[in-house]
Structures are given as structure tokens and as C-alpha cells.
Amino acid sequence: MRMIRVSADSTCDLSPVLLERFNIAITPLSITVGDKVFKDAVDIRPEDIFRFVGEGKTCVTGAVNVYEYQQHFQRLTANGHQVIHICLGSGFSSCYNHAVLAARDFPGVEVVDSKNLSTGSGHLVYEAALMAADGTELPEIKRKLDELGSKIDASFIIDQLDYLAKGGRCSAITAQGAKILRLKPCIEVRDGAMIVGRKYRGVFEKALRLYVLDRLHDPSVLEPSRLFITGAGCDPEVVTMVRSLVEEHAQFKEIIVTEAGCTISNHCGPNTLGILFKRL
């Protein structure tokens, strides 16, 4: 049986510890700042994004191109290994289409559209790693991941809409109105696209408490294997508070705290935090 390597776009937002534990190969998205191009988590971090924006610079995220995927798949298959690659959702980026085109040259490579982002995709990457370690065949891993994508509950609370406005995802007027009214929107992933869910009013910590209770209100539909708490530029005490709330209201076997990468950070800004889990 040939070894199966698990691979993912950097937007899966898994921690370096998890990437090393499962030997997961990463394809970094690009971040362009002025005339400089950086690679996500290679030579740029979220704190750099926040600093650049604070200096008035515009940061633009870019998809992994076909050539980069070809080089990546070439390296991973050089020793006869098969590859399962999990992409940032096709509704958010051209990464998936580029990876599919690149994979045509490599019969042992399967590409999965996670239909998700951040650790919503990370759940699929984690499951792929577990299945590969158990000796599951490549076509079966692909089939199970395609089914799992629709069961991921992914959402984030955003403290302020300034970054979304800078990226053209909402108007400056909307962002200013939200600031005046102290609204903290919940951004949800549904059917492979981002939508605005409930809008919470008040300080960030209060909004997070209500948000966690809303997401976990029906324990009977929660798949208990794991939950990710993923944030960008959040105070550690806030993350601890969210973790305590999750532990109080749900029974997950594993709660994993990760840092959102440059893509989420660039679009949502600091004080962004979500809980991401699977539904039955």
C-alpha cells in the first residue's frame, strides 16, 4: 500500500504542532503589500498584516497558482506517494480550480473542495490525516471528506468592519454604522459562501458570550470529537473565557485553540474569533 500524504492550503489555520504531528504539507497563499509579495505563515504573520494596515497600506491576498500546485504535487509524489489535498472553499478563492488543473498531471493526487475556510477546512484536514494514518484508501478518504464538508459549522464574530470595508466586502457607511451602533456581526459559512448571521450589540466579550450560547444551544446535534477556537488578534483572556463557556455548555473530546492565518486576519481584522465544529 502506498503512503498517502495529506496536504492543504495555508488557510486551514491548523497550528504548527498539528501540522508537524500529522506531517501535513502546506501550500501558502500570497499576500501582496505594495510591490512586495509574501507567503502566508512563511515570511508574513497576522501581526504584520495589522501593522501594515495601521500604516495605511493595502494588503491583498492571492490564490496559489497552477504552477505552484504542480511543483508542490511533484515534490509530494516523487517517492511514489499518493496525495489528498484539501483546498480553501471554491466559493472564496480560485485555489480549488487551480489545484484541480495541476492535479491532472498527477494520477495519485485527489483534490477536495472544503467549501469552507480557516479551521472549517481544518476539520477536513484533520480527518484526512486520521484516515490516512488508519490505512484508508485514497478514494474512500476523498468520498468521506466530500460528505463531511456540509456538516461543518463555521462562523466568526467580528469586532469591527473596517477590514471588510477596506477589502470591498462591505461599504464604509455600513462599517461606520456598525461602529456607532456597537454591532458585532456573526459571519457564517453556508453552502460554501459567507453570509452575515445575527448581529450582536455591545462590547466584544459580551457578544462572544451570546454567540457561543447561540452556536451550542442544541447539544444533541453536536458531533463531539473536537471543536476549534480560532481567533485573530484576540486577548488570551478572551480566548480562555470562550473555552470555559464551551466546556460548560458542550462535551467535546478535544478543544483546540488555533490562530487565524493571514487570510482571515486580512479580511476580518483583530478581535475576530470563532468556534468551529461538526454537526451530526
Q: Are residues 19 and 131 in the same domain?
A: yes
Instruction: Please give the pLDDT value at position 164.
Output: 60
Element (H, E) at 213: helix 204-215
- Judged by DSSP in three states, 262 sits in helix
Residue span of the structural domain in which 71 resides: 4-29+64-150
**CATH number for position 263:** 3.30.1180.10
Residue 160 pLDDT level (bands cut at 50, 70, 90): confident
- At residue 42, φ and ψ (nearest 5 deg) are -100, -55
Q: Are residues 139 and 216 in the same domain?
A: no
CB 243 within 8 A of CB 235: no
- Judged by DSSP in three states, 29 sits in coil
Q: Are residues 131 and 163 in the same domain?
A: no
Q: Are residues 19 and 80 in the same domain?
A: yes
- Of 150, 183, 201, the residue that ends a domain is 150
More confident residue, 27 or 267: 27
Q: Are residues 267 and 160 in the same domain?
A: yes
Q: Are residues 166 and 128 in the same domain?
A: no
Q: CA nearest 258: which of 218, 224, 211, 226? A: 226
In the chain, the number of structural domains is: 2
Examine residue 215 and state whether it is found in any structural domain, yes or no: yes
- Of 117, 133, 150, the residue that ends a domain is 150
Examine residue 263 and state whether it is found in any structural domain, yes or no: yes
Whether residue 155 has pLDDT greater than 60: yes
Q: Are residues 87 and 171 in the same domain?
A: no
Residue found under cell 458542550? 250
CB 104 within 8 A of CB 130: no
**CATH number for position 75:** 3.40.50.10440
Rg (CA), the chain: 18
Q: Tell me how far apart the alpha carbons of residues 176 and 82 are, in angstroms, rounded to a whole number.
A: 50
Instruction: Please give the pLDDT value at position 172.
Output: 45
Whether residue 174 has pLDDT greater than 80: no
Q: Are residues 272 and 243 in the same domain?
A: yes
CB 129 within 8 A of CB 6: yes
In this predicted model, what pLDDT tens digit does every residue of 190-233 receive, in sequence order? 988 888 888 899 999 999 999 999 999 999 999 999 999 999 99
Q: Tell me how far apart the alpha carbons of residues 24 and 39 are, in angstroms, rounded to a whole number.
A: 17
Examine residue 55 and state whether it is found in any structural domain, yes or no: no
- Of 150, 172, 193, the residue that ends a domain is 150
Q: Are residues 139 and 8 in the same domain?
A: yes
